[in-house]
Structure 1
Amino acid sequence: LLEVRKMEEAFLQEQQRKQARESLELHGLGAQTASSSPSSSSGNHQTEAREKTTDEKSREQDEKQREDGDFDAIVSMLMSQDMKRFDDLSENLEHLEREAANAEADAMALGVMMGEELLRDDVEHLTEALLAAESLVGQSPSVEGGAGRH
């Protein structure tokens, strides 16, 4: 837990340093753009200002990537520490057992519902077959009537 706090403090300090650098760069960038205003007619100043802004942008991107890497490292470290915890293990186990029992009950209910649906489909199929057979019998010439005529 102490290591976690140290890492959090280091991360916060790094963020504060980053914010301080950004504010300095913004103030420095404002001074550079003022020197490249229309009053200074030299084109070299403008190209230098553009080069500086592209350099600053690339530095900002590099710094952001580094900070993202640092953040990922901290998160990974915290997750690995969390995985090693064993406090409240019995409560977690009981919760998982309840979840497993609920999932089993849901599976049973789904099985019953699927069985009922299969029975309904079978009854419908048999009903349709009986109706089709009765309609065929009603349409065909009577076997009894034909035998009596001979």
Structure 2
Amino acid sequence: MASTLEELTALKTLLDQGVLTQEEFNLKKAELLSRDLYSTPAAAPAFNAQPVSPCGSDAAVALDSKSKLAAALLALFLGSLGIHKFYLGYTAAGVTMLLVSLLGALIVIGPVIMGIIAFIEAIIYLTKTDEQFYLTYVVGDRPWF
């Protein structure tokens, strides 16, 4: 029985390859995340897709493909510019933070607000386990908090 992380990685790979639509991905992801992560294998529904890498091997994407420590440090030191959002692949959120900081610098409040948000996000990143971070911010689609 594959772990939830492996199954989500396989789903993400299938989505990236165009095998699944975004709607199918979201439905299957919701099913996987809604089941109890600590349930017995007999109680958990089976998922038959195998992870496929672009190189042709069956290796799954490494858990540390996006480091939570790197994301947290970027959020702490360059957070008001949204650099950690770009690192995690959330370009729209990164551009939003960057524009609010740059345009808000005229009245000083923009960078302060974005800095506070980035600090909170850094704390959230550091308090999550590696698997929770990966499922939430790398596999999942959660650009804010």
> Does 1 or 2 have the higher relative contact order (CA < 8 Å, sep 6+)?
2
Q: Same-fold call, TM > 0.5?
A: no
TM value normalised by structure 2: 0.25
Q: Which has the higher helix share?
A: 1
TM value normalised by structure 1: 0.24
Pair member with larger Rg? 1
